[in-house]
Amino acid sequence: MPVLLYIHGFNSSERSHKANVLVEAVAKMGLPQAVISPRLSWQPAKAIQQLEALIEANLSEGVTLIGSSLGGFYAGYLAEKYQLNAILVNPAVQAPSLLTHHLGHQENPYTQEVYELTPAHMAELDALVVEPTPERYWLMIQEGDEVLDYRAALAAFPHVARLTQEPNGDHRFVDFERFIPEILRFAQITTD
C-alpha cells in the first residue's frame, strides 16, 4: 500500500495538528499504516537521514511526501532525490537564510528538547537546496501566513502541477482538514 510521509517543521513534532489530522483520517478508514509521521532530529543532516531511511523502506509500495514549513523544504529535496510527488504546505523555501535568525539556544515547545542551532546547521540546510521539477508538486499556501512570505514559495515553485492559494489563513494552514480526501487521492491511498 502506498504511504504518505508527513514531515513536520522547525521546532514542531510528529504530533502537530496536520500530522494528527492525517493519522486520524487513515485510522478511521482502517489504514493506519498509510501515514508515517516520525519525530525528526532538529539537526538537518540527521533529519534527512531519518527520512531517507523511511523512504527507502517504503519505496516499493510508493511514497508521497507532505511537508509543512521546514518540512516542506526537506520534502523538496527528497522529492527530487527520489523522484517522488510532494505536497508542500506553507513551505519554508528559504530555510537556510530564514533560520539564521534563530541561531543559538532553542527549545522545542512540543518535545521540550533543548539544543543549540549553529552556522554548521545552516550549511547542512544549504546542501539541501535543489532545483524543483514542477510537475511533482502540489503547493498549498495561505497568504495570511504570519511566519513566511507566501510569495517566496510561489517564486520557488512556479508552474506546479497543483496550486492551492488562499487569502488570509495562517502558518498552520487554517482548515487543513478539508483537504484530507484530496491529499489521500494525491498520495494514491484512496481512489474515490
In DSSP notation, the chain reads --EEEEE--TT--TTSHHHHHHHHHHHHTT-GGGEE-PPPPSSHHHHHHHHHHHHHHHTTT-EEEEEETHHHHHHHHHHHHHT-EEEEES--TTHHHHGGGG-EEEE-TTT--EEEE-HHHHHHHHTT-----GGGEEEEEETT-SSS-HHHHHHHSTT-SEEEEESS--TT-TTGGGGHHHHHHHTTS---
- 127 domain-assigned: yes
Query: Average pLDDT by consecutive 10-residue portion of the chain (192 residues)?
Result: 95 91 94 95 96 97 97 97 97 91 89 91 94 94 92 92 94 94 95 78
Task: Answer whether residue 192 is part of any domain.
Answer: no
The pTM score is: 0.95
pLDDT score of 101: 87
What's the confidence (pLDDT) of residue 80?
Answer: 97
- In the chain, the number of structural domains is 1
In a domain, 75, yes or no: yes
Domain membership of residue 142 (yes or no) is yes
CATH of the domain at 120: 3.40.50.1820
191 found inside a domain = no
135 occurs within a structural domain: yes
Residue 63 belongs to domain spanning: 3-186
- The answer to the question of residue 144 being in a domain is yes
pLDDT at res. 45:
97
